[in-house]
A and B are shown apart, each in its own frame.
Chain A
């Protein structure tokens, strides 16, 4: 990875059981932090292009739970939840993450570490997701595949509509 600013999320795979996302934001660190812990702000970005966030619950304390629910454009519901393990305001959040579409997901949660680095007014965010096996990691990456394709379709549809 170069040292230049990237406004594109860069995904790398440091090991068979890890996914690392890196993204720079043109905003101070405390705001990037707020956007990750305040429900009203989370709701505005977490669904991406896939749908709409219906609820974001955040009990921001060690041992506290979080849960996000979104409705995808296709109509189905997608929910994630987890538990906060470590909280360093403006700097670092460590939490578990469970996709509720997987049976018994709570038995084998992913561990996510959000790290915010001050770049002098700008902020570098890294999200390290650690899972128990390569199979689980591949499943997570495959889920990106589905939504990525969906986004491609959506974009195509918008283009088609703009031509009409």
Chain B
């Protein structure tokens, strides 16, 4: 999957733990900057810097509400990441579903009844 190598990439933007934290907070509803600053407990310039990166990749949108600037989450840019990672997840789910069977038989040898001979062939 070809992607831009800078912060213009949602994938890169969410690699930063603070930015993920901001997204988590916004997932609970739109918030003005000062509320985010309070919730995060870090200086406002730092919060603003993260918000700018998130805005650049389209993960948050901002609008004015009276004298406040309110930030809102937009999950759309994450969709392609989600789809991409989900396929990798499926590979592991298939493995671990088989592992469930193995573990079940280790705990209950009576249930095995040579079933796995067939699976392995």
Contacts and interface: CB of A to CB of B under 8 A. Distances in A.
Interface residues of A, number: 42
B99 A35 contact: yes
B57 to A, nearest CB: 15
B63 interface: no
A47 B73 CA distance: 39
A100 to B, nearest CB: 18
Interface size class of B (residues with CB under 8 A): 20 to 34
Given A26-B100, A48-B94, A138 B107 contact: no
A76 to B, nearest CB: 16
Nearest to B85: A11
Contacts of B92: 9, 11, 21, 23, 48, 144
B27 to A, nearest CB: 13
A151 B90 contact: yes
Contact of A145 (B12, B87, B107, B120): B87
Interface stretch (A38-46, A86-94, A103-111): A38-46
B21 to A, nearest CB: 13
